[in-house]
Amino acid sequence: MFRIGLSSKSNVFSEELFRAFTEAGIRTMEISNCSDGYAAIDFDKVKRLADASGVTLWSFHLPFKTHNEIPHDISNPETCEIAVEDHKKHIQIGTAIGIKIFILHTSGPKVPDEERKTWMEVCKRSLKELAEYAEQYGAVIALENMTHKCLGNTIAEFEELVFSHPAIRVCFDINHLLYESPSEFIRRMKGRLVTTHVSDCNLEVEQHKLPGEGKINFNEIVAALVETGYTGPWLYEVSYRVPQPEDDKYKLTCESFVKNANEIFAGKTPTKQR
């Protein structure tokens, strides 16, 4: 079935983190430190740890909040130029350690209704610039489908953004697609879908829960991925901590994700682990 991947989810990039990956049998990592920013990370160290442990640094989640007074909304006419330039810096950082896939949000959560059309056009221009910039480094932008009032919160609107440039690829965030068919999304993104964010929710609001804790039908999703020839990872974006503190409310380990994936791949409903 699909190789199992896991977002770093703001964990400290340590020998212990990479050891936890390898001991659980996980060989694919997404670098994600969106809560605190990336300035404090020693990316050369991350690369050394990954190489030593046999973990592939698969993708890099570009910032989507304001960090160091830099806004990262590529669709806001007032901030798009600053956001695009800062994203270019992160693309340089990521490709320097071998990453070829850069996850990008379409917009912030609050797009003014009366300006949605304008923001869509700004987003398309930003995407074109970033996609062509990434191409220079042998990399791709993987646009993430969104929820709330973000741009791309329906399949049709997201499709309009994705197909606005031939180099744009897709990250399917499963728990962001609240009201439409996941299998329909997968079929319509065929040929563009390169990676996933796997998590569960109640189909009313995004929650980033472990599959089995919400209402999403993951067996249907796996079937659609197989049908369309998807070759990327089954990459979880669910909060966990390494090492696990005693008061950790998440109570998940790297082994938890492997167990969960194997149950789904076997066509079972995943058991609750917390």
> In this predicted model, what pLDDT tens digit does every residue of 212-228 receive, in sequence order?
999 999 999 999 999 99
Single out the residue of 266, 194, 243, 261 nearest to residue 26, CA to CA.
261
Contact 24, 55 (CB under 8 A): no
H-helix or E-strand containing 5?
strand 4-7
From the number of C-beta atoms within 10 Å of its C-beta (0-12, 13-18, 19+), residue 169 rates as buried
d(CA 38, CA 272): 33
| Ramachandran assignment for 39, one of left (phi > 0), alpha (psi -120 to 50 degrees), beta (any other) | alpha
Cα 158 to its chain centre, rounded Å, is: 15
> In this predicted model, what pLDDT tens digit does every residue of 148-198 receive, in sequence order?
899 999 999 999 999 999 999 999 999 999 999 999 999 999 999 999 999
> In this predicted model, what pLDDT tens digit does every residue of 62-91 receive, in sequence order?
998 766 667 789 999 999 999 999 999 999
Question: Whole-model pTM?
Answer: 0.96
H helical segments located in 154-240: 155-162, 182-188, 218-227
Domain boundaries, the chain: 4-265
DSSP bridge pairs for 101? 59, 140
The answer, yes or no, to whether the previous bond of 243 is cis (omega within 30 of 0) is yes
From the number of C-beta atoms within 10 Å of its C-beta (0-12, 13-18, 19+), residue 181 rates as middle
At the topology level, CATH places domain 4-265 in: TIM Barrel (3.20.20)
